[in-house]
Structure formats: C-alpha cells, structure tokens
Structure 1
Amino acid sequence: MKRHGWLLLLGALCAIGPLSIDMYLPSAPFMAREFGSEGQTVQLSVVSYLVGLLVGQLLYGPLSDRHGRKPPLYVGLWLYGCSSVACALVDSAVPFICLRFLQGLGGCAGMVIARAIVRDRTNAVGAARAFSLLMLVVSVAPLLAPLLGAAVFQQWGWRAVFGGMGLFGALCLTAIHFWMRETREANTTSRFSWLGIARNYGRLLGDRQFVVYTLCNGLLQGGMYAYISGSAAVLMNVYGLSPRHYSWVFAANSLGMIVAAQLNAVLTSRLALARIVERALWLPAGLGLAAAGLDSDPSIWILLIGLFLFLSSIGFVAPNAAAIALSNHAENAGAASALMGTMLFVLGTLSAIATAALHDDSARSLLIVMAICSTGAILVFYLAARQRTID
C-alpha cells in the first residue's frame, strides 16, 4: 500500500479494541433483559473480553516474530470475526460471556501486530510519526462507536451490532490479505518453546530503555484510565453536569489528544523524541501535584482546563515513548509490542481500580490517582531514562 494507506489499515486494526467494547454499550440494558439477567452480564462480558485481550497479546507477539506478521493476523481476525457472529446468535448469558473472551483473544492480534509492523517499516522518528497518526483513529473510535452502535441497534437490534463487528473483522482480513505486504519473513529455524518465549520477555524486561519508556507511557495513560473510569461520577454527580454536557467534555478532551498527537508528528522533525517526552511530562506532573494539594474540590472550570491539558499531553508522550521503547528491538518487535501492550493494560487497569476504590463523592480521589500516575511517570524518566536514550 502506498503513502499512508498502510497506516489507515493499521488504524482499522487498532480500532477493533474500542469498537468491540463501546459499540454494544447502548444496547446493554436490552441485552440483559433478553438474557434474563441484570447488568452484571454485560459487565462480565466486558471483563471477559479484556482478559482475552491480555492473554492474546502475549501470544501473538512472539508468534508474529517467528511466522511473519500476516499469518497470526489471519488467525486472530478469523477468530474475532467468527466469535462476533456467534455472539449475535446466542440466547443465554454464559455462552455470550465465553464468546466475548474469544472475541478479545482474536481482536488483540491487530493491536499488537500493528505496532510491530510500524517498527518493521520505520526508524524511531518515523515510528513516532506513525504512532501519532494512529492516535487519531484510536481517539476517534471510542467517540464514534457508541453512536454507530446505537444507530444499528435502533434499526436492527443488538444482534446486528455483533454481526457488524464480524463484518468489520472480515473486511480487515480481506484488506490485510490483498493490500498489505509482509514486513517480516518467517523464521522457523529455531525450535518453538514456551520457555524460549518467557526468556525473550525476560530479556525485554532487562532492557532499561524499553522498560523506562514503557513505564512513562503506561503511568501517564494510567491517569487517562483513571479519568475514564471516574470522570462521569465526578463531573455529573459532584459538579452536576448533564449527560449531554459530559459527552461534550469527553469529546473535547479526546480532541485535545488528537490535536496534540498531530502536532507531535510535526515536532519530531525538529526535536529529539526524548526531549519531547521530557518536556511533555512536566505538564501533567505539575497539574497533578497542584490539584492533589488542594484542600477542597477546584471550581468546575479549573478542573476542566486541568483535565484537558493533562490528557492532551498524552498526545506528545505516547507516540514518542512507544517509538523509543521499540527502537532497539527490530528482531523481536512483536514480542516487544506484546509486552508493551500488556504493561500499558495492567497499569491502566490498576489505576482504574484505585480510582473506584478511593471514590468518596468528591473529585479528590480522581485527582490523587492522576497525580500519582503523572508524578510517577516523570520520576521514572529522570531516575532512569536519561542513562540510555535516543537523541
């Protein structure tokens, strides 16, 4: 594929994750009633899907290093498409929850291998630009998915939503087969073993540059997950925003990340990637410490501006940190991408759990978790990242 066509296709693969979660949420209450259960069915189906994502990432990465990028993609997209269609056909909660696990197990292939393909095709600076463009898709998909899911549900019912997911998976599979070239030849000379995979992950964890920049990225995105999990309760219950106004705030913050990521693509030709990360980390760290030190909840406008700036900074940190972390791992980019995705997922999940556990009908729990995440990111950077970096 020429020019940016390959990036558009990778963006479609990365969009599978948010689409598979957010598209069916508008129809969740109706699904629960049809299954004869309460809301916990839908909640368990989300957890099941996320567990599938977590497990699958660690499998597809090493497999793509061994067998090339496209064969594992074929398997993952086929599994995703079939399980999506099966979700549309079930009539009870337990099979639906199990199929959601398989859906996550298949859908994560695109997310993991997309990063590896970027590393295969570009150097560190080119990867930062590519990841900046991919953030456009990753940020827009959660905004459009509920709208698309609601429209499909109102017209044809919730089963059509999952049928649409299966169709999307089939289209991605077809596009990968005909329009994307293989970026890594198969290497089956060495014997496959689970112990070898574990050792490979151990070597990655011993790479200071990989670990530090992944932690910086993951901790800052942990603040974003805290915002996603706790902002609705804070802004609507504490500050009294209506659901409509909250959706505007959520959209504005997503737009901030998108614009920042596109600006970052321009800055990469003028500044070293590590320098951009360093400067961008100061903003959320300062905001987090200032907010955590308040004796009472800030005014609504101060809170909204602070959240916007905090989340926008991710657009400068995430693409560059990912590019630097993968830069030394051309030979095992799949495994490196898988471990990176797993670390980001775990840190994000822990921050979301902490936000929920500390919730006290004020904004302080959300602000404290975001402050811990952003302060942790900049401490990791200054304590370790500068010992080995790319200028």
Structure 2
Amino acid sequence: MPATHSNRIGYAISLGLLAALGPLCIDLYLPALPALAADLHTPTATAQLSLTAGLLGLGAGQLIFGPLSDKTGRLRPLTLSLILLFIASVGCALAQTIDQLLLARLFEGLAGAGGAVLSRAIARDMYSGHDLTRFFAMLMLVNGLAPIAAPVMGGALMAFLDWRGLFMTLALIALLLLAMARLKLHETLPAARRSQGSLLSAWAALGKVVTHRPFMGFCLTQGFMMSGMFAYIGASPFVLQQIYGLSPQAFSFCFALNGLGLVIASQTSARLCPLWGEYRVLKGGLTLAFIASGTLVLTGLSGAALPLVLTALFFSVASNGVISVTAASLAMQSQGKRAGSASAVIGVTMFTLGAISVPVTGLGGTSVLTMTLTIFGCYLLAIVMFLLLAQKPQTV
C-alpha cells in the first residue's frame, strides 16, 4: 500500500494515465472529425455518432469491469481491458465504412472504461476522507493533462498521419500502458475483501449502490456536469473550426487552454477542501458552473465575438475541475465496501449522459447556440440533482 509521498505520486501518475484512457479515446481524434466525415462520405451528425458510440462503450464498460474487479481483484480485469483496447483501436483504424467505425468505437469505449473505473476503485482501496480527495486531485492533475495533450497531439500528428493513424497511435498507447500496469501496479484488493459468491452477486451489488440516496446525489451531479463537458467536446471542433474558421492546430490550442483551466481548478479545490470541506467546495463549483454557462448562453444568443465565447467556455470547463474532484470523493467515500461497483455507477452515469448530450448539440445543425444551450441545460440539471438528493454521506 503506497504510503510515502513519492509512492503516492508514482501511483497517482500510473492511475492517472489509466484513467486518461477515456479522454484519450475521445479527445485524440477530435481535430480529425471533419476529415473523418469527409473521408467516409458521411454527414457531420453521423460522424459525431463515433463519439457517441465511444461514450456508450465507456459507460457500459464500467458495469463490466467495476463489479468484476470487486469479485476477482483489480489487476486481471485491467489487463483484459488493455488487450481489448489494442484490438478495438486497430479495428477503428481499419474501418472502411462509418458502420464499421461505429462498431469498433463501441468496443474501444468498452475497453477504455477499464482504466477509468479501476483507477477510482484502486484509489478507494488505498485512501479515504481528505486523503482520498487529495489523491483524486492528483489523479485529476495527471488525467487532466489528457484533454490538454490529446487534441494537441492529434492536431500535431495530423501533419504526418490521417485519422486512421491516430487510432493506430491509440493502439500503441494501449500496449505501453499494459506494460506499465504489469510492472508498476500491485493488487490492492486482497482476497479476504473481495465480493463473495458468484459474479451475478457481484453485479447485484449495483442495486445497493444505486438505491443509496447520498451517493446517487453526488453521482448524478457529476454525471450531468460531465454531460455538459461532453457536449462541449463533441460540438466544439465544428463550432470553432467550421463557424469561427480555426485551423486544427489553433483549435487544439484553445482546447488545451480549457483543459489547463480544468487542471488548475481541480488542484485549487483539493487545497480548499481541508479548510472548507468537500461539500462546501462542491457548492462553490456549482455556483461557478451556473454563472459561467449562463454567460455562455448569452454569447450564443448575441452572436458574440470569438474571444468572449472562449472566455465563457474556459470558466464553464474549469467548473468541472472543482466538481469532478469533490463529487467523486464524496460519492466514493460513501461506498467503501463496494468501491468497484460504485466506481462503475459513476462511470456509466457520466458516459451515458454524455452520449445523450453529444447528439443533442447537432440537432438542426451544430451551432454556437445549440452548443451553449446544451451545456447550460446539463449544468442546470446537475444543480437540481444536488439540491434534491445530495447530502453529507456516511461511510458504509
């Protein structure tokens, strides 16, 4: 069990890289979406479904790998997910039609879910309370670099590779992370603490998790916030490149800047939690989300210039950094005995809601207004879930 500061940082880096698989699967090929649509002779809205398919896979995969890890331990499901990610990414690169790509993207998402769900479960195995919040913030620091680095990497690679080459890059990343996991990580869930009975009983634990009101309050709060984030991720390549005329490289820079705001916000919230508590910091993050996304809608309604849109987007994205750390920590603290299942519910909620929000931005054609209204609506639903369900949880 890593207890020293250096070991904690090492584990945060390792788990952060695994948790970054989800963002990498989503963000790396974002600059290539317009080129992908043209190459496969498919409309913009249909090309965006490749993002939706990945998000659905990321959500469904949580329900597979989370409960499975409560039963078998963390490392074996992690190994399986990374092998599957390699195979699915190669399948994406070889796809000749949009239907083939969507199927491969679904399996790529399923595989990418393993890193996300198991990184949270392993963290909960090791830490609790403010220590867990601080560790989640360290995870966010590493994981938050993925949305920054992935589109920048994708934009840079597009100078040498087409969109198929980006998916082959994901396959290579899967192999490298598989080697890292086998060399650096150890089993954090001993046999004595694993779920007893059949695999069906492990999945049955999901019912106990979803009926725990405080947990679901924080879970849905984070889920709707992230659905707004995914709406931004899905719509921004088209809004910023096709409407505002940014190049793939300029778009990648703007996307990276917003990702930096996400990281700064997450680290700031972790430092505030020991002083104010996770619950109060979460409320502050939701307040920021409401103000920033409301301002974003005003820019869409008024046809504001690009700098104003980007400023509102920056703070809208940054608010997710506050909420991701605090809501996830509060939710996971309430489910210590069912960490894998709890992590699965958090993941499937985020990615399922995200899969719904992405195509909403394309209704009637992707525009600044549809993107901003979708983000605001998702954030507003997050606030409603917090007010209706969330309360300071008790550890179980």
TM range (shorter): 0.7 to 0.9
Q: Name the structure 2 match of 1:190.
A: 196
Q: Which residue of 1 aligns with 2:265?
A: 260
Q: Secondary structure at the match of 1:357?
A: coil
1:131 shift after superposition? 2.0
How far does the alpha carbon of each residue in 1:22-68 deviate from its partner, in whole angstroms, 9 at most, with x for none? 4345566777788xx42468656544433332222111000100111
Q: Counterpart of 2:387 in structure 1: which amino acid?
A: Y
Alpha carbons 1:27, 1:158 under 8 Å: kept: yes
Deviation at 1:73, TM superposition (A): 0.6
Larger Rg: 1
Greater displacement, 7-16 / 76-85: 76-85
Is the CA contact 1:65–1:186 (under 8 Å) kept in the aligned structure 2? no
Question: Using the alignment, how far apart are the partners of 1:210 and 1:281 within structure 2?
Answer: 17
Q: Does 1:174 align with 2:179?
A: yes
**Counterpart check, 1:217 vs 2:222:** yes
Q: TM-score, normalised by structure 2?
A: 0.83
Aligned to 1:242: 246
Which range moves more in the overlay, 229-238 or 54-63?
A: 229-238
Find out whether 1:118 has 2:123 as its counterpart. Answer: yes
How much is the aligned-residue C-alpha RMSD, in angstroms? 3.3
SS in 1 for 2:147: helix
Contact 2:214 2:393 in 1 (8 A): yes
Question: Is the aligned partner of 1:138 residue 2:143?
Answer: yes
Cα deviation code 1:202-232 (max 9, x no counterpart)? 2111111111111111222222223233345
Alignment map for 1:43-82 (pairs within 5 Å): 45-82=50-87
User: Where does structure 2 lack aligned partners over 5 or more consecutive residues?
Assistant: none
Pair 1:38 & 2:41 matched: yes
Alignment of 1:1-391 (within 5 A): 2-24=7-29, 37-39=40-42, 45-85=50-90, 87-88=92-93, 97-149=102-154, 151-152=156-157, 155=160, 161-186=166-191, 190-194=196-200, 196-235=201-240, 240=244, 242-243=246-247, 246-289=251-294, 296-297=301-302, 299-300=304-305, 301-357=307-363, 361=367, 363=369, 365-386=370-391, 388=393
Change (3 A) 1:55 1:267: same
Letter in 1 for 2:196: S
Distance 1:353 1:33 in 2: 18
Does the 8 Å CA contact 2:70/2:341 hold for their aligned counterparts?
yes
* Distance in 2 between residues matched to 1:299 and 1:158, nearest whole Å: 32
Distance 2:16 2:376 in 1: 30
- How big is the shift at 1:114? 0.5
Q: Tell me if the contact between 1:289 and 1:375 (Cα under 8 Å) persists in the aligned partners.
A: no
Tell me how far 1:327 sits from its aligned partner.
Answer: 0.5
1:303 to 1:66, Cα distance in 2 relative to 1, 3 A: same
By how many angstroms is 1:332 displaced? 1.1
Alpha-carbon distance in 2 for matches of 1:97, 1:217 = 26
- Range with greater deviation from structure 2 (123-132 or 267-276): 123-132
Amino acid at match of 1:308: F
Opposite residue 71 of structure 1, the aligned amino acid is R
Q: 1:388 to 1:73 in 2, by over 3 A?
A: closer
Cα shift at 1:132: 1.9
Q: Which amino acid aligns with 2:322?
A: F
| Contact 1:274–1:389 (Cα < 8 Å) also in 2 | no
Residues 286 and 63 (structure 1 numbering): CA distance in 2 closer, same or farther, change over 3 Å? same
User: What is the percent sequence identity of the aligned residues?
Assistant: 32
Distance in 1 separating the partners of 2:291 and 2:36: 44
Q: 1:105-130 deviations in whole A, cap 9, x for unaligned?
A: 22211111001111111113222222
Counterparts of 2:216 and 2:335, CA distance in 1 = 12
Instruction: Name the TM-score, length of structure 1 as normaliser.
Output: 0.84
5+ long unaligned stretches in structure 1: none
